[in-house]
Chains A and B, each alone.
Chain A
């Protein structure tokens, strides 16, 4: 197994875990946790490719991962604010209670 493959496999495992968690949890905040995991897995794969993959540009992957971190942070903030607002409205963070837009 090449290092690239190893890192990618790790990234895959992180991603899968994050997805499973995002789908399986009832608490909205823990869903967000899964989302963060997925994002991180993506970051990892970018960096892995930056380091081990054939890329001519020295810092593209790195920059991408950097911006991804920034975005992830912003998104976490907004998401949590939303959850807070929802909590205030409904006194719960239970995700199933948010089903008013069901078809």
Chain B
């Protein structure tokens, strides 16, 4: 077991190798591609479990293995792997959920034209995510982070001939790029102040005591310390990747990708990477101090919590007004990620990570269930055209219900209840003010409401699809088995983090977990409050949507009938996309037009001027050539001709003329001989 801990770098390498081999396979090698991908994920999962066991055996001590990447002069760029409890649980979660989704994909994408490419991209993504999880260097983490972005781009735009898919892929990449800029700046700042990007390096790492001391004492921005400033810059990257306000706009559009992609990347793993990043660099935000987080004295954490709380409610409101089954889930993901950040900011790493892990399972379950529904309804995605599917797709319905109840936080049985309660509990204990708690509670109500709405429209009521219930069929085993497995975990995982036995949080913080029912009693009021909220939400949802199913696809939504303007705003996603379009995108277009104008007129003018100059020069040359050269030549020729013509007049064919010339010549000669010679 210890051997895997020092060679943990192999875990991301296996899917990377699978991706590399699959990249050169021809399109028809579908079976081989699928086999390679799934095989590598199985191996990765096995190794991850081994790593977890190893960490458990180490009692939560981290195992670091750093190495030189390349040498630059006297220094070297060093990278490394770290296996601590945080990394270990993420490894197991990512590889397990990934494996299930890979298996689901074999059934879902069976009729697609490029299955080989799909599994190549999936393997690439898995490799990148696993790399992020065990990276000990911020640089290595960033590299894998960007690789995840690339894989996400490839997968969102998998059906690239659809213009909406291509645009969505581009949007995702660009928006996360904006966040990545903050991440990059933070990375640069960190390197400049500490001289290393390794997290843990035997005392020299940037998250270790000496470096933290230096960072907290040096000045950052304004009244903030450098540590907080860097932490906030890194948080900007997390905002982009995890789709928080204001960079959330790409996540709903990312639903253009195939549903397994949405499940894997945009629910369970990649979007959670932002939360993971903040968990990883948590010491930066606290500055390594021992003050309790609930005191609310760390500015960075307060910002994180604030952003998370606001996003949680904002996204939940939008989710109420959506009619696409996947978009509802997408906004739900944004909302739940907000919860995770809220938990991180008010309660610490353990609270956030617990929700992250439970959310991964039930959100993946929900997305895969939605995929099953879409597959069964012949690619229909509008919930207004579904209905009454619980009889036609029983397994899907059952597992979906489990996922829905986990998400809403139905008490005691489902994991979501326990993890969300942890967050609400931490928010309640948070001292500065009560807003995070209030927002969290309101968000829980909305979550229950919109999920009930969705379930009613999809599974209950009369069927509104074009072909009727007869054409709806349950999905094959490759799809339903992963659903079932996920459902089981959606229930079971919750018991790892109950207040009576908080094993998960204790594992992550390196403490021992004790069975203590007293804590459970203490938490009872909170549990009651959250249960009440969930009941109210579900009740409202049933009252509006469940009692009487929707009759026709075009009839007005019940909520819309009551509050048309509010519903309109929710449906329009609060016009955030339009705002961006009117400001940023327009500014960009103006800039592009300006540059284009510059290019056409200024630079083009310059080029044309040079060309005109050359042309003018050519004219001058031609003028010189024609006038001077030709003229000179013509003059010469003309002179010669004129002279010749004049001289030829002497030859007029008349002998007397010749004779006269002879006489003249003789006269001249005689004169010269007589006088000239004498004179000289």
Contacts and interface: CB of A to CB of B under 8 A. Distances in A.
A100 interface: yes
Interface in B648-666: 648-656, 659-660, 663
A11 B656 CA distance: 22
Contacts of B649: 103
A9 interface: no
Given A103-B648, A103-B650, A98 B655 contact: yes
Nearest to A96: B654
B666 to A, nearest CB: 9
Contact of A99 (B654, B660, B663): B654
Interface string A13-46: 0000001001111000001000000000000000
A102 B663 contact: no
A103 B654 contact: no
Among B656, B659, B663, the most chain A Cβ lie within 10 Å of the Cβ of: B656
A98 B653 contact: yes
A103 B660 CA distance: 17
Contacts of A95: 654-656
Contacts, number: 35
B653 A31 contact: no
B659 A102 contact: no
Contact of B653 (A19, A23, A100): A100
A23 B652 contact: no
A74 to B, nearest CB: 19
Contacts of A96: 654
A1 interface: no
A12 to B, nearest CB: 11
B663 A23 contact: yes
B652 A103 contact: yes
Contacts of A101: 651, 653
Interface string A77-103: 000000000000000000110111111
A23 B654 contact: no
B656 A31 contact: yes
A64 to B, nearest CB: 20
Nearest to A26: B656
A17 to B, nearest CB: 12
A49 to B, nearest CB: 17
A22 B659 contact: yes
A23 B659 contact: yes
B663 A19 contact: yes
Contacts of B650: 103
Contacts of B660: 23
A98 B651 contact: no
Contacts of A31: 655-656
Given A23-B663, A25-B656, A99-B653, 17 more contacts: A19-B663, A22-B656, A22-B659, A23-B660, A24-B656, A95-B655, A96-B654, A98-B653, A98-B654, A98-B655, A99-B654, A100-B653, A101-B651, A102-B652, A103-B648, A103-B652, A103-B653
8 contacts: A22-B659, A31-B656, A95-B655, A99-B652, A99-B653, A100-B653, A102-B652, A102-B654
Interface of B: 648-656, 659-660, 663
* In the A-B complex, the 3 residue pairs with the closest CB atoms: A103-B651, A102-B653, A99-B653
